[in-house]
Structure 1
């Protein structure tokens, strides 16, 4: 049990007032929100100024992989702040070099260089630029059910409706349908059919766009915000083969899925696929300091061996951020965080969530890996009609009232706790979700 701060209603009121007056919140109608002011957190728990604590199943934005206020990571950042805090990319700096080596050391052989960014959107921006310059081609294919960030190229890659407000966007991006067996675009009834038909659709899309014009196919290895969609067996391998056949680069977006989230260092490790470019952020340092990056294959890095890369960021490889990444990777290794995520997912979360589905008709589908899960909420299991927004909100309220905070996305409940969650804490979360579902759907 974590210690709670004393109740401070005046501070709560002041934070709310200042937020309403001055903070412009992303993806929100400003007059219709009242964000909860947080007072602190520890491990897999956070709490507010009213003394209420919550078991966190969001990891904030699926990035606090080491949990809140991990003492070793906090101390590493504190120690780094006592040195040279910021160093321009044109100089060499120790923690930047060590972080690049540590990240590259987790990638497949032949991906040795790392370009640091401030987050995942910038990572995807630069991956697209690298792919276009390396291949001399301009088209990039991405899935409709995807989110790759909100900067110009990243939001163009994004296939879901959040891109609409940014259109018209950069030219050359083409979307296609990826695999999603529960709501198959291909009328599939098995994972094998879904993989085969989704690959056939992608192959036809490439042919229609002219493979000689396609620089890259960009995929979230496991689709995150759009439903925790785990690719069926053979799909990623088939995309790799298609790319090799036509000289197209495979860019895997591991911003959300990487660094332990699926029970592996990178999600693509589950399928043994070697990408040409890997984008990352979030879990690399649990979001304690903004950091992202691109891991480049040797072939792509060689393109810029004697030709300058036309891109850069003032804070590329910021010393405080890279020091936190070095510490985070070391902590994850020494404390077996990746193994813990895999074990909790296999032994507790996966079976427990499937058990919830057996007892609650509102759950239409359960899917996930490690500590990366989604419950698809439906009004009718036969028709698979999505649960209306008001009923989704009611379920979320019921969860919060019981002290557990899941991540609600559309008609889904995402269960994405920090990778350090124990089996006991996961069991407590499942009990609270069970009670909330029973109370909200009775």
Structure 2
């Protein structure tokens, strides 16, 4: 038991604070044993607080958060988003979904206002994979029953999204998946032409502007525009998955803006909740959205468009606009990418195969997956949280917020320099095939 006091001096008794060992035991007993093992590789630290670009563990250590899988474009607990969510929490957090409710209408208007031209109808969900399901269902409602996705692409793990995610290790335990799904090489427009020509009027193409989980794979210049033109030529249906790349991550509001692409449906998530609440959306053209207009109950979710989430959406969009986070992502990325590249080339000769990125989505590809895992641990040992890539296991991925200060940037680069030096010192002792 622990004794605490409030500002007035009144003391109260409460349960003893959790230790890392307590929480690790609960993970093993109630959650995932594999997840517990992964936590042990990072010292079983407990994250208990976050603000801006930094998170704090239970023992008081602070870490620069360049992970989060793209959620924290505006950092953690941005005051504007927190204030909006708190206000909604204390007024009307959950709606009946029967009466008109203003926050969802305003959030849809705010999102449509910053979306590519022509995308003006919105369905809100909670996770990125739910947004993917929405896009696939709209395609199917329009008669496009054959799905084409790209090798290395990642779209989520619900059944439809998993069918489009080209990774056997995630798919195999759950087969059979959706039929008539084809995976083509990312960046190969001619392979796509062949597939579309063989099935005119039948195909839904789902593609990412940059493959984040694939290992920060950038397409050839003009590829996305070619995809759009081919889909139109062969009467297909185009879903652009911007769950990770949208909201300024690439130094543009959307990856669609880079090549002036106008899909039938664009998927948004990750940063849409301002790093405070989980929320996603599918934004569609009027024509693509038509099946949902005919029947308001044909595709629903209890928590779709709930006021608490919609307050966060509106605030998050305002923050990106007013704090010029898209421009800041461009500028910070332009400074970080060449520096990270130089450090990697200097410190990891023969161990790094590529460094690539756009905006604040940066990937460092190692010679094999074990090295990537070790680099993640070394970065953590020097105070930086980064991510692995689910479909590109040899790639360490940085998704820092666009609120980094110059001091934060220097901290990241110094930590990367130290981590790569430490990796070189231990690499000769690594077992063949990685750890």
Give the TM-score category using the shorter length. Answer: 0.7 to 0.9
Out of 164, 175, 200, the residue aligned to residue 157 of structure 1 is 164
CA distance in 2, matches of 1:9, 1:429: 31
- Structure 1's 304 and 78: CA in aligned 2 closer, same or farther, altered over 3 A? closer
> Could you list the per-position Cα deviations for residues 49-95 of structure 1 after superposition, in whole angstroms to 9, with x for gaps in the alignment?
1121111110x222122111212211111111011111143432111
Q: In the alignment, is residue 272 of structure 1 matched against residue 260 of structure 2?
A: yes
Q: In the alignment, is residue 130 of structure 1 matched against residue 138 of structure 2?
A: yes
Task: Note if contact 1:155-1:166 (Cα within 8 Å) is conserved in structure 2.
Answer: no
Out of 401, 418, 421, the residue aligned to residue 418 of structure 1 is 401
Task: Note if contact 1:345-1:369 (Cα within 8 Å) is conserved in structure 2.
Answer: yes
- Equivalent runs, 1:183-194 vs 2, <5 Å: none
Cα deviation, residue 307, structure 1 = 5.0
Task: Note if contact 1:143-1:219 (Cα within 8 Å) is conserved in structure 2.
Answer: yes
Cα deviation, residue 313, structure 1 = 0.6
- Structure 1's 92 and 341: CA in aligned 2 closer, same or farther, altered over 3 A? same
Q: In the alignment, is residue 351 of structure 1 matched against residue 338 of structure 2?
A: yes
Cα deviation, residue 13, structure 1 = 3.4
Normalised by the length of structure 1, the TM-score is 0.86
Task: Note if contact 2:78-2:274 (Cα within 8 Å) is conserved in structure 1.
Answer: no
- Structure 1's 117 and 431: CA in aligned 2 closer, same or farther, altered over 3 A? same
Aligned to 1:408: 388
> Could you list the per-position Cα deviations for residues 165-219 of structure 1 after superposition, in whole angstroms to 9, with x for gaps in the alignment?
222112222211113xxxxxxxxxxxxxxxxxx11111122234x22322x1000
Out of 251, 274, 293, the residue aligned to residue 263 of structure 1 is 251
Which structure 2 residue ranges, 5 or more long, are not aligned? 1-15, 426-435
CA distance in 1, matches of 2:116, 2:357: 23
Does the residue aligned with 2:312 lie in a helix, a strand or coil? Answer: helix
- Structure 1's 69 and 137: CA in aligned 2 closer, same or farther, altered over 3 A? closer
- Structure 1's 38 and 297: CA in aligned 2 closer, same or farther, altered over 3 A? same
Task: Note if contact 2:95-2:101 (Cα within 8 Å) is conserved in structure 1.
Answer: yes
Normalised by the length of structure 2, the TM-score is 0.87
Out of 312, 322, 342, the residue aligned to residue 334 of structure 1 is 322
Aligned to 1:207: 197
Cα deviation, residue 256, structure 1 = 0.5
Aligned to 1:83: 91
- Structure 1's 109 and 243: CA in aligned 2 closer, same or farther, altered over 3 A? same
Q: Which moved more, 1:430-439 or 1:163-172?
A: 163-172
- Structure 1's 172 and 89: CA in aligned 2 closer, same or farther, altered over 3 A? farther
CA distance in 1, matches of 2:196, 2:102: 43
CA distance in 2, matches of 1:342, 1:296: 27
> Could you list the per-position Cα deviations for residues 255-274 of structure 1 after superposition, in whole angstroms to 9, with x for gaps in the alignment?
00011111111111111111
CA distance in 2, matches of 1:423, 1:172: 50
Task: Note if contact 1:118-1:316 (Cα within 8 Å) is conserved in structure 2.
Answer: yes
Query: How many residues matched?
Result: 401
Aligned to 1:195: none
Out of 364, 378, 401, the residue aligned to residue 398 of structure 1 is 378
Q: In the alignment, is residue 20 of structure 1 matched against residue 33 of structure 2?
A: no
- Structure 1's 29 and 206: CA in aligned 2 closer, same or farther, altered over 3 A? same
CA distance in 2, matches of 1:308, 1:429: 48
Q: CA RMSD in A?
A: 1.9
Does the residue aligned with 1:211 lie in a helix, a strand or coil? Answer: coil
Q: In the alignment, is residue 49 of structure 1 matched against residue 38 of structure 2?
A: no
Q: In the alignment, is residue 244 of structure 1 matched against residue 232 of structure 2?
A: yes
Cα deviation, residue 423, structure 1 = 3.7
CA distance in 1, matches of 2:97, 2:412: 43
- Structure 1's 74 and 150: CA in aligned 2 closer, same or farther, altered over 3 A? same
